[in-house]
A and B are shown apart, each in its own frame.
Chain A
Amino acid sequence: MSDTHAYDAIVIGAGHNGLTHAAYLAKAGRRVLVLEQRHLVGGAAITEELRPGFKFTTFSYALSLLRPEIIAELDLVSHGFMPLYMRSHFAPMDNGDYLLLGPDAGVNRQEIARHCKADVDGMERFEHDTLRVRQFLRPLFDNAPPNLFSADPQDAEQVAWLVKHLGSADAKLMHDCVRLITGSIADFVDDYLESEIIKATICSAACVGIKLGPMSPGTGLNWLYLAMGEHDGIAGSWAFHKGGNGGFTEVLARAATASGAEIRLNSRVDHLITEQGQAVGVALADGTEFRAPVVVSSLDPRRTFLQIADPRELPADLVQTIQRFRFQGVASKVNFALDGLPRYPALEGRTDQYLGFVNVAPTVEYMERAYDAAKYGWYSEHPYLDASIQSMIDPDMAPPGKHVMSCFVMYTPHELKGASWPAHREAMADRVQATLRRFFPGFDDLVLQREVVTPDIIEERTGLSEGNIYAGEFFPHQMYVFRPAPGYSDYRTPIRGYYQCGSGTHPGGCVIGAPGRLASMRVLADTR
């Protein structure tokens, strides 16, 4: 690279993908500068102490899809990587009963049999069929998509590989893939299962972060994406990073800086500087300029193409595609500081149900009705909640005997019809709390403090457009070779030296690191 610049590469944004990307470039010997608008690293993966001793995972709250090779390649353990095991999945029911799944297959069989005996082998067939789909799609997920629209012989080789791989599926596997990718999760689970709570539990995982209900075609794909995680090699298993996901991004920051990357906080990038169609640096909002022959945006596609870059330097059809790219965030967080553990009457005296996720989605219809509100621009009266009492897993999260509860809330659309979030934030959180009270009697008495994070706040603080937690919806036409736009799934942009490495690129959102890593392979190959 050119010696006339202070840096070989500038990474915009110190979210987990920006940091991962910077760490890979720095490890390869590149001089890297990371520019972060806020006073802390992490982007949407931060932990904040909003009350002395109580640590909140403000936005994202668990790890599953983090690609295992990143842990090894960036030597994250030596920088403090500590993924704590979330052992259970607890789903309270309207009638006071519950579904509690844990680490033992035999015990899980008995728990499923308690609800529906036919679902014991139904669940095993569901898991086997979906595991085969996951295994089959894994190479697509783990590698940069080929450019279907290029004349480059290297791309043609990869397209040929893709066609050959797809052709290797047997009829059932291909059919299962298409059923999942194009269909609704509710239809898919109906083919295997009878019990409402078991179906709802699977369906709930398909509705996280997407503006679709379980009966909408497309939720199968969201389920599949989230199920590509394999914490500790166990498909679908999740972890809680010590100190929350903020603890994880601090590990990434240490890994990056240990390799020589420089992270500059409170440095909001205003725009990309180009010279003759080539990126040469960035200018901050305060006018400060930094020069480098490579600029990599970890921001979402709307910001990368329409705000940081000058759209006039881009092809008009790309600009249109990005303008059409759907964000439409629908998720909120309500985080609680609690004076003690919630009570669940059917499990009086037990606390093991809180060692993982607490999933309030008692029926498929409950979730679909929660989604109905969002279709028409309003938030759910009875929201679907994915909660976790993180201090049960990591005692550092709250003072002894006290707890923090992260509560992910669906559905709360970014655009409220005829209203704005500041006027409705607390009312929405009241509905969340009312839902928790319904299942956990006396919940209100435990609440010491609550933090309400609606999509407008997610957008304002993290920069994620419309507060979409994935940096763009997981719709088939916005995934794989189409993420973020046809012909631009290779982490490049039409501006030479300007790259993308955020969750708006393949494979997509979640604390996964893959976009940052795959983009680094592209940048390093292009700038050898």
Chain B
Amino acid sequence: MRTTPFYPRLRELNHSHMWGNWAGYLSATKYDLSSKHEYFGVRNAAGFFDTSPLNKYWIRGRDAERLCSYAFARDIRPVRPGRAQYTLWCDDAGFVMEDGVVFRTAGDEFLLTAAEPNLGYLRGLARAFDAEIVEATEDFASLAVQGPRSRDILAQLTPDVVDLPYFGFAETKVAGSQVLCSRTGFSGDLGFELFIPADQALPVLDAIIEAGTPHGLRPYGEEALNMTRIEAGLPLFGYEFTSSRYAFTHEERFTPDELGLGWTLRGLDDPTRPFIGREAILAERAGAEARWRTVGITMTWRDYYDLHASNGLLAIPDEVPVPWEVMIYDAEGSRIGYATSFMYSPILQRHVGIARVRPSHAEPGSEVFVEQTVNHEYVNVRALVTTLPFYNPPRKVAAR
């Protein structure tokens, strides 16, 4: 197994000694024995998470913007240098392959982060353009610093973070190193991500820890990350969807609209921007009703508690997201969807999930039934369809 540039320090901090395997890199499952403790650290103060295994690519050249606006479903052209954009890329049939964030570092230069390796794919596309794709994953150590105190912590190290707008970024100096610092993240709260030259990872991390410790900064692992992103309603590759490129059936493929990401497609009818999947997405929107809608579901604590109590059991919720799909039914017992992520939210004090349901049941407030196992029997528990996200403090996007 490989390790990231932060590993020497993270190993010291990982009191649980529990590590996961993120694409061949050791990635902490949790640092504290309680991932709920880490979660509250992020929600109440600040936490840092090592995102170094994320794939990173430079897209450079005279045609870099044309390439990005062709490869990605969301229009990159309005994005100015110093701004980043959440995006996705689709196949010719309009199904989502992957998502990522594009940072526009110059008129002719972009930095893309992606969950999965894409160098071969992007290079294949770039052949038709005057643009090059440069692998940059290991050039950077990347760190997410998330939570309400994150700005105060980082402001001690660089004043440039103070006025960063949501999805803005600055190339700045932290602890003597040139760092790209963006106001982005996966927690649904105020937060930042830092892209640090790999050989400067430890001094920068140490400076952040030193600045942050008085503010309650703590490291958090994959479990707490997953909890925060579910509350934030953010899709995770491998849970909400996988690449259409590697799907065997259409049941494994999803369109942006089905994933609740149709909002990224503004300007779809702009004929000056052909992009991969556009024709199919236009046809989908002009055609029959979509197969799925992505919604939130919530279950009330009382229903969950009473169900267990009526079966002689004590309900003990577990905040760690379940690693399987949870089936959803209508009142008559017909299956109408499934939750792709499902957990007990310690802040909301009830179960929440990101779910795909049939459009007929997608209206917020619709009553649905979530399959649970009680006394080794399947039982359907009442739940309500909601909008996403579940947790969305105004400070996430607000100016200071």
Rounded to whole Å, the gap between the CB of B137 and the closest CB of chain A is: 8
Q: Which residue of A lies closest to B21 (CB)?
A: A106
Within 323-342 of B, Cβ neighbours of A (below 8 Å) are at none
Q: Does the CB pair A121–B21 fall under 8 Å?
A: no
Complex formed: what's the CA distance from A105 to B1 in Å?
Answer: 11
Name which of B36-44, B111-119, B289-297 contacts chain A.
B111-119
8 more CB-based (< 8 A) A-B contacts, given A106-B24, A110-B23, A118-B135: A104-B24, A106-B1, A107-B24, A109-B24, A110-B25, A111-B24, A121-B116, A125-B120
Tell whether A135 is near chain B: CB-to-CB under 8 Å: yes
Within 333-391 of A, Cβ neighbours of B (below 8 Å) are at none
Complex formed: what's the CA distance from A108 to B137 in Å?
Answer: 16
Complex formed: what's the CA distance from A106 to B123 in Å?
Answer: 22
Q: Does the CB pair B23–A121 fall under 8 Å?
A: no
Complex formed: what's the CA distance from A316 to B16 in Å?
Answer: 77
Q: Does the CB pair B120–A119 fall under 8 Å?
A: yes
A-B contact pairs, 12 of them (CB 8 A): A104-B24, A106-B21, A106-B23, A107-B1, A107-B24, A109-B24, A110-B2, A110-B23, A118-B119, A121-B120, A124-B246, A128-B245
Residues of A near B1 (CB, < 8 A) are 106-107
Q: Does the CB pair B119–A121 fall under 8 Å?
A: yes
Tell whether A447 is near chain B: CB-to-CB under 8 Å: no
Within 100-152 of B, Cβ neighbours of A (below 8 Å) are at 116-121, 123, 135, 137
Complex formed: what's the CA distance from A120 to B118 in Å?
Answer: 8
Q: Does the CB pair A122–B2 fall under 8 Å?
A: no
Tell whether B86 is near chain A: CB-to-CB under 8 Å: no
Q: Mark A106-134, 1 if CB is under 8 A from B, else 0.
A: 11111101000111111011001000100
Q: Does the CB pair B25–A106 fall under 8 Å?
A: yes
A117-B118 contact, Cβ under 8 Å, with A106-B25, A128-B246, A132-B248: no
Contact of A122 among B116, B120, B248 (CB under 8 A): B120
Within 5-53 of B, Cβ neighbours of A (below 8 Å) are at 21-25
Q: Does the CB pair A120–B21 fall under 8 Å?
A: no
Q: Does the CB pair A135–B248 fall under 8 Å?
A: yes
Rounded to whole Å, the gap between the CB of A147 and the closest CB of chain B is: 31
Complex formed: what's the CA distance from A124 to B98 in Å?
Answer: 14
Complex formed: what's the CA distance from A192 to B21 in Å?
Answer: 26
Q: From DSSP, what is the main secondary structure of chain A's interface residues?
A: helix
Q: Does the CB pair A109–B21 fall under 8 Å?
A: no
Contact of A104 among B21, B117, B246 (CB under 8 A): B21
Q: Does the CB pair A121–B24 fall under 8 Å?
A: no
Q: Mark A191-213, 1 if CB is under 8 A from B, else 0.
A: 01000000000000000000000
Complex formed: what's the CA distance from A40 to B336 in Å?
Answer: 61
Q: Which residue of A lies closest to B2 (CB)?
A: A110
Residues of B near A119 (CB, < 8 A) are 120
Q: Does the CB pair A108–B121 fall under 8 Å?
A: no
Residues of A near B120 (CB, < 8 A) are 118-122, 125, 192
Q: Mark B347-367, 1 if CB is under 8 A from A, else 0.
A: 000000000000000000000
Rounded to whole Å, the gap between the CB of B140 and the closest CB of chain A is: 14
Q: Does the CB pair A117–B119 fall under 8 Å?
A: yes
Range of interface residues on chain A?
20 to 34
Q: Mark B361-399, 1 if CB is under 8 A from A, else 0.
A: 000000000000000000000000000000000000000
Q: Does the CB pair A108–B24 fall under 8 Å?
A: yes
Range of interface residues on chain B?
10 to 19
Within 280-314 of B, Cβ neighbours of A (below 8 Å) are at none
Contact of A120 among B119, B245, B246 (CB under 8 A): B119
Within 455-478 of A, Cβ neighbours of B (below 8 Å) are at none
The CB with the most chain B CB atoms within 10 A, among A121, A122, A192, is that of: A121
A110-B245 contact, Cβ under 8 Å, with A121-B121, A125-B120: no
Residues of B near A135 (CB, < 8 A) are 248
Complex formed: what's the CA distance from A179 to B245 in Å?
Answer: 19
Closest 7 interchain pairs by CB? Answer: A106-B24, A110-B24, A122-B120, A120-B117, A118-B120, A121-B117, A118-B119
Residues of A near B137 (CB, < 8 A) are 117
Rounded to whole Å, the gap between the CB of B276 and the closest CB of chain A is: 15
A125-B245 contact, Cβ under 8 Å, with A118-B120, A118-B123: yes
Residues of A near B123 (CB, < 8 A) are 118
Rounded to whole Å, the gap between the CB of A246 and the closest CB of chain B is: 37
Residues of A near B23 (CB, < 8 A) are 106, 109-110
Within 418-445 of A, Cβ neighbours of B (below 8 Å) are at none
Rounded to whole Å, the gap between the CB of A483 and the closest CB of chain B is: 29
Complex formed: what's the CA distance from A132 to B245 in Å?
Answer: 12
Residues of A near B25 (CB, < 8 A) are 106, 110
Q: Does the CB pair A117–B135 fall under 8 Å?
A: yes
Rounded to whole Å, the gap between the CB of A134 and the closest CB of chain B is: 11
Q: Mark B209-253, 1 if CB is under 8 A from A, else 0.
A: 000000000000000000000000000000000000110100000
Residues of A near B118 (CB, < 8 A) are 121
Q: Mark B152-182, 1 if CB is under 8 A from A, else 0.
A: 0000000000000000000000000000000
Residues of B near A122 (CB, < 8 A) are 120
Q: Mark A228-256, 1 if CB is under 8 A from B, else 0.
A: 00000000000000000000000000000
Rounded to whole Å, the gap between the CB of A130 and the closest CB of chain B is: 12
The CB with the most chain B CB atoms within 10 A, among A107, A118, A124, is that of: A118
Residues of B near A125 (CB, < 8 A) are 120-121, 245
The CB with the most chain B CB atoms within 10 A, among A117, A122, A192, is that of: A117
Rounded to whole Å, the gap between the CB of B139 and the closest CB of chain A is: 11
Complex formed: what's the CA distance from A122 to B23 in Å?
Answer: 15
Q: Does the CB pair B22–A109 fall under 8 Å?
A: no
Q: Mark A82-120, 1 if CB is under 8 A from B, else 0.
A: 000000000000000000000010111111010001111
Residues of A near B116 (CB, < 8 A) are 121
Complex formed: what's the CA distance from A107 to B352 in Å?
Answer: 33
Complex formed: what's the CA distance from A109 to B119 in Å?
Answer: 13
Complex formed: what's the CA distance from A253 to B21 in Å?
Answer: 44
Complex formed: what's the CA distance from A108 to B2 in Å?
Answer: 11
Rounded to whole Å, the gap between the CB of B127 and the closest CB of chain A is: 12
